[in-house]
Each structure stands twice: as C-alpha cells, then as structure tokens.
Structure 1
C-alpha cells in the first residue's frame, strides 16, 4: 500500500498544523507543503487528485469519536493569485492564505474581492497594522498576526483596529499555554502554534490512582515470562479497559474483525506486543483537561516512528512506536519528562531515545518531529523524502481510526 502511494504521490511534501479556538477545539488545519523547487506544487491545480489527498487525510478531524471535515489553510503569494494559478479546490473546504509581500497592488485587492464574492475565503498572513494592508481587510475572512514579532501593546492595538471588520483574528506562533491565555485576553479567537505540545510545569504531580492499573499492566507486559493469562488477570480488574480491548479487536484499527470468545482470546488475537501498544494508549486517552488533538498528535508521531522503522527493517518496531507516542507525554501529564520516565516501566534504550534522541530509536524520533514541523531541509535522510510524506499520511489516517475506537 505504501509503495502504491509513493507511485501516486509524486515529490510533494505535506504536513499540517492545527488551528484552535478558545476551547482548544480544532477549527482547521494550516497546510505546510513544498515541492522540490519550493514552488506551489503543480498537483495543487488538479482538483480531483489534490482534493482526494487533502480532504481524506489532511482535512480530516474528529469530535466525540466522529470524523468531520475541517478547512485547510493553503498559502498563496500575490503573483500566484494574479497569474490565475489559484488551485481549483472546493471553496467550502479551503482558506487561501495570502503571504505578505512588499506592497499591495490594486490588482490584488480587486482580484481578492471578486473571488470573495464567488465564495472563496482568504486569510491575510503576517498582518502588522500597516495602513497599506487595510485595503485588504474587506476581502479576507481571517487576519493572522505573528505574536512573537510584536509587544503586548502592539498586539492589543492591532486587535482593536481589525475587530470592526468582523474577521477572525488568528494568533500565530503561540508557543506556551501562558501565551495562549494572554492572547485570549487580548481578543484573539483563533490560535496556531506549538503551545499544546508544551507542558505546564506542575511540580510534585504524579500518576493518579486511575492510572495505577495500567502501570501494573505495562510492567507485566515488559516481563519476559508474561502470559496471556497473567495479562488477563490484570485487565479484568478494570471493566473499561477490558471493554476497550474487546472493542478494539473489531475496530477499523484491525484489518479483519473476529468473533471473540473471551478476554484472553482477544488478548491472544491482538498479540502481546500489540497489547503493550494499546495499554500505552489507554494510559494517555481520556486524560482530564487535555484536548483530543494532543492525543491525535501523539498517535500520529508514534505510528510514523513505527512505519519508518519498518521501512528501514529495524527490529522491534513496536518500541519505536512507544518512543514516538511517549515523546510528548510531558505535555499530556504536565510533568517533567525525566520524572515521568522514572514512573514508566520501560527499558533504558527507550528512555534514552526520548530524552536524548541519540540511538536508532532517537534518530527516528528526530526525523518524525522534524517532518511534523515542516523543517524538511533538516531531515537526516534515512529514507528518500517521499517515504516520509507517505508514512505521515498513513499515520494521520491510522490515528483517526484509533481515536474513533477509543472515544465513546
């Protein structure tokens, strides 16, 4: 399947970054992309091919376990817009993000307004409060402000200035939860950045009692003498965990649904290594106060690490999955990573990979984290770049399936 996707996918690299509202629900995705020469990929002008890839992967989110389409933000320069090379994509599913260039021509303003009347949506990228940009405010639906480039007083002034235009005001490059809260107070209503992936330092926090059984299960799964029966004796003490294991066997995450005769039968069908994977997921899912999107990011990263390990014929790809999944555990649990790993019964190589990214598992983690952020020039090149994009796309789809299975 991955080989088929490579034949169809070309040389375009794509990744996505979520755009949140005040409740940290995802409102859309900012699409990062680059073709080999750095220009707008030719495939983006092919409505059928591009729409299928983006809408079925990069624009797909979930809420309460159900899949939903979310708008994708695609960057365009003025020259792209005026040349008529605007992608022929469904208007209702895309927001075209106008990159800020030197000066704003009358032709740009005229074209943007005409396209807005036709149903296209635009976002103005890197709004600075410059009066020259004001002429575009009537043509856009969203104004995007880089909060790292302005003081709090400047941000407040810009928000006040654009509010009468009835546009969404998007805070870009929000890096911490404190910045997120400050932007809400300033009047922003959309937020983009890596703040969700950063922990809030809560000293002295430990795993709650609700996680103790999962910790016991992980310890048993790391015991070389563990059996299906010994694992079953732990799982049966948590009805919800038992229910989830039974449910997962028949979920889209497994290719062939089975008729289950008992809990031990389900465990045997899944396999001990896979139960280890799912136990780790149970440790994370439903964590109080954390958005579903963080779980999605962790799932995607874990699966992509596993896929790259499989492509490279590394042994024990399940361990690469766990490295990727747990690499953002500090953000999920709001605890320092070193303290967290002291409480998780994992081998030293896995812990070293997460903390230092120095061994083969750590190298794969570095590659995946680099790809996620669109820093493709920083990839070490363990594989040809198209393999990364296909693995990322498959991982997004897999994470969606898992979320639908884990959520009630």
Structure 2
C-alpha cells in the first residue's frame, strides 16, 4: 500500500488529471476505432473503403504533425488540449446526430476522420510537453510506465466494449467516444501547469534548433534512436494492417461484432501483462535484443495465421505478440524525453510520431486492398516476410551503430590519454 501511495499518479495531482483525461479519451477512441470499419461494411462499403477511413485520419495527423509540434512548443498546452478535445467531441457526435435524420454517408465518415486527425495532431505533442512540465526527471520512468499500462488497458477494454456497443446499436460507439472527449476536456481544465519557461522564451538562436523541422534534425543526430524508430515504423505498419485483416477475415468467417471485439481486445491483454514486467525487462534487455525478440515472435506468429485462423487461437497469439512492446516503448521514450532539450520536446515528439506512424498510415488501406486482391492467407504471408526483413535489417543496423560508438569512444579515450 505504501508503494501505491508513493506512486507518481497519487503524489502528482496534475499528472493524475492528465492521465485520467488520456485514459478516458483513448478508451473512447478504441471503442469507435473498432466501430468505424464495421459501420462502413454495414453500409455496404468495400474492404478498401473500410481501411481508408483509418488511413485518412492517420495521413491527416502526419501531414500536420511537424507544424503542430512547433506550435505547441509556444502555445499554452492545457488550452490546446482542451480545445482539441472539444473539437473531437463535436466531430464524433456528428455521426449519431446525422443518423437521427438519415443514414450516415461515407463522405461524412471521411470528413470526421480528417477533422479528428487534425485535432489529434495538436493534442499528441501538447500532451508530451505537458508531461515534461508536470513530471520531474526522477518521476519520468514511473509516468511512462503508467502510460504504457493505460494504453494497453485501453487496447483490452476498448475493442471489447466497441463490439458490444456496436451489437446493441451501431451509433452507440460514436456517441460514447464523443462523451469521452468531453470528459477529458473537463479533467484537463482542472490541470494547473507548471511551465518550464514562458512560451517562446527558450527559443534558441542556432539554426539547427529553429523551425518546425528542428525535431527531425535532432533525431538525425542520434543514430541509434533513429534506427529504432525506423524499425518501429515498419512494425507499426504491420500492426495497423493486422488489425484490419483480423477484422475482415473474422467478419468473412461469420464472426459477430462481439467476437471480433474480444479477439482484438487480446492485444491489450498481452500489453497489460507485458507492462507488468516492463521495468524488469528494460533493466535486463538491450534495445537490439528487444528488436530481435519482438521481430522473431511477430514473424513466427504471422506465419501461423497463414495455416490456422480460429478466433481463440488468433486472440492468444495476438496477446503473445504484445508482451515485449511495453518494455520497448518505455525504453525508447524514456531515452527520448530524457535526452531531448526542454524547448524541443514538442517538435521532437512530433517528429517521433511522424516517423513511427508515417508507414502505419498506409497499413489499413493497404491491408484492405491486399485482402481484396490476394486473400487472407497470402496477405498474412506478406506481413510475415515484411516483419522478418525489417527485424534482420534493424538488428544489423543497431549492432553496427553500437560497435561504431564503442570504437569512437576508444579512439577518443586513446587520444586523450596521449595528451601531455
């Protein structure tokens, strides 16, 4: 009990309010995230159209991510987060409101995806800067660990709730998501931010640290982090495709929305178990070892999907696939937030998100197109081969980068030892 009382979420009221706001809005997003492709299919849309809604949202976020990062480094983060939550609330509410008069149209769903994507592009970097504003360096690891546990809990509960709510009424998931954004805005309203400096006060005069692309330039100077982010980008592409292909194949096999939601929720179950062991794993596994382990597990299990696809088996394998992801996330983001200069946090966060989600934006629509063109078995084979190739390349690049860093350190130490 003493350890629980000492946890950063209990001792830091501002972080607790931010955490609860993120929990609420992310849960709503996970609920509607499952419902979007199901709604498109129920309206007579194709597999490509079902995947395109998610892709449009992701592409919009990516297109606005870098300027959004530069803006939130200067603006009041609390105001940005409240405003974007209210915009997303109104946008999601438009779907059930439209259903009161007629059937929602596909173009409306695409428009909702665009507006929601723009608002989320601002919210993400603002949330990262807010975390640095309200959390001390000593509390950062605990805060990131709690965030990983929260995201995986949402991944567990969200799809399951989304499937149940969609089975009750196909508009219900979107209404719940709208309410979740309103609740998040109210929680953020109560945050009293402890800013590190007045907006714009810490803006440097060096050209390399100015402008919207400063975050990308900072990452380019940190080679090991950059390699990890490129590898994670491919994994995220595969993960985005897996979500869509699982939904499409289970739907084709006659599974209900409730069953599909339960299977997708297994991703969150695996993540929760992984989050419990994340601190232990971070202390014992290097980042190259995590890359290799994640890649081997994912490649093997995606290959299994080519020959067996029963709901119980799929759910179990999806859970196992997620066991190491929380530890990898904590290790990478702790390194990022710990090393990033405070005045660049928003832009580095935006650049990181751009790299992580750039390829992932293609995942849903590419998965839908592949499933429609070559079927589920061959799509799973393509995803397995892609993951295996990325794992081998990422592990070799990280090993070479670390060897180069050790050699450079040895040369530097030798040079300093030769000085008179």
Tell me, yes or no, whether TM beats 0.5.
no
TM-score for both structures, normalised by structure 1: 0.27
Larger Rg: 1
